[in-house]
Amino acid sequence: MKVAIFGQYYQNDTRPIIKDIFVFFNRNNVELVIEEKFLQILYKEEIVGKKYNTFASHHDLDSSFDILISIGGDGTILRAATFVRDSGIPILGVNAGRLGFLAKVQKENIESFLQIVLEKKYTISERTLLTIDCSPNCADIDINFAMNEVSVSRKDTTSMITIETYLNGEYLNSYWADGLIIATPTGSTGYSLSCGGPILTPEVNALVITPIAPHNLNARPLVIPDETEIKLKVSGREEQYLVSLDSRITSISNNSELLIKKTPFKINMVEIPEETFLKTLRTKLLWGEDKRN
């Protein structure tokens, strides 16, 4: 078995998590390949001592890898997806953060869940991605896909912006707001949720359009089929506005047009039988718990 390991940072409380992962895989003679910068952190903190092969970009990951282990929170998984891209390598998130809708494996259950990985008794959840085209060609975006959401927002002003929105060429609305979020089912539990958007289960073939602090209170979130092409034309008092693909942000000139659509490939997320999406919702959002006592 060949496993890639990725993390973005190190904190004292993640030390036992990282050690448990390395001890388990080394004990079971699993070939480990570590992201280059993360391995340097592990050497510096003296968490690992032996030499490992490394990867530095998506070009270094191919079909010989069985899985990628992401150590951190949901943001780390979003970054891990930029390494995996269209390779089809499944991603398993080990939660060393706080909320963790994507990072399912908790530190208390690491060894039992890694055993499931070793025996390949997991299932795969395919996650939709979004990509954008800019007209004229004005977006300096190195990694042009988003697993959570594409959002547009005001940049250097406190004034609202106007987002003229079309679905498959038909005019929908002109949102007068701080911004607009186009979220995938994966992203429906993120930024969109905090702005009042609905939660979609991962297998739903849909997207959510959620306005950010709209001026008109009748501008409500809208669920649309994920095959829809969404065209946005943003205008405002400033010369530029911000476009964000997950956590990657670029500036776009006023009155440029954005075309947002689904990518031809998906990201494979590892699903552990004991950690279902509905269980995650109950745990993270405290559903079903009576807090009156």
Query: If you average pLDDT over every residue of the chain, what do you get?
Result: 91
Q: 74, 86, 133, 156: which one is catalytic? A: 74
Residues 8 and 77 in one domain: yes
Residues 164 and 122 in one domain: no
Q: What is the pLDDT of residue 3?
A: 96
Residues in a beta bridge with 54:
34
Residue 68, number of CB atoms within 10 A of its CB: 26
pTM equals 0.91
Is 75 assigned to a binding site? yes
Q: State the amino acid at position 216 in one-letter form.
A: N
Residues 222 and 101 in one domain: no
pLDDT, tens only, 63-75 = 999 999 999 888 9
Is 192 assigned to a binding site? yes
Is 98 assigned to a binding site? no
Residues 277 and 246 in one domain: no
Is residue 291 situated within a structural domain?
Answer: no
Is 82 assigned to a binding site? no
pLDDT, tens only, 65-108 = 999 999 988 899 999 999 999 999 999 999 886 667 888 787 77
- Count of structural domains within the chain: 2
Q: Which residues contact 229 (CB under 8 A, 6 or more apart)?
A: 167, 168, 169, 259, 260, 261
Q: In what order do the strands lie in the sheet with 222-225?
A: 222-225, 206-212, 179-183, 149-154, 240-245, 248-253
Q: What is the pLDDT of residue 139?
A: 60
φ, ψ of residue 246 in degrees (nearest 5):
55, -115
Residues 163 and 279 in one domain: no
The CATH number for 65's domain is 3.40.50.10330
- Is 140 assigned a catalytic role? no
CA distance 193 to 210: 9
Per-residue pLDDT of the chain (293 residues; tens, 9 = 90+): 999 999 987 676 788 889 999 999 999 999 999 999 999 999 998 888 889 999 999 999 999 999 999 998 889 999 999 999 999 999 999 988 666 788 878 777 788 889 999 999 999 999 999 999 988 866 667 779 999 999 999 988 788 999 999 999 999 999 999 999 999 999 999 999 999 999 999 999 999 999 999 998 899 999 999 999 999 999 988 888 999 999 899 988 888 899 999 999 999 999 988 888 898 888 888 888 777 66
Using DSSP's 3-state secondary structure scheme, residue 41 falls into helix
Residues 253 and 278 in one domain: no
φ, ψ of residue 27 in degrees (nearest 5):
-65, -30
Q: What is the β-pairing status of strands 257-262 and 161-167?
A: unpaired
Q: What is the pLDDT of residue 137?
A: 67
**Closest to 267 measured CA to CA, from 105, 74, 61, 78:** 78
Q: What is the pLDDT of residue 193?
A: 95
Alpha helices, H only, 55-171: 74-84, 110-118
Is 157 assigned to a binding site? no
- Integer distance in angstroms from the first to the last C-alpha of the chain? 49
Residues 210 and 278 in one domain: no
Q: What is the pLDDT of residue 140?
A: 67
Residues 121 and 138 in one domain: no
Contact yes or no for 96/66 (Cβ under 8 A): no
Using N-to-C axis directions, what is the helix angle for 110-118 and 15-27, rounded to 10°?
A: 30
Q: Is 124 left (phi over 0), alpha (psi -120 to 50) or beta?
A: beta
Which residue segment(s) compose the domain that 60 sits in? 2-127+266-285
Residues 151 and 273 in one domain: no
Percent of all residues in the chain with a pLDDT value above 70, rounded to a whole number: 96
Is 191 assigned to a binding site? yes
Is 190 assigned to a binding site? yes
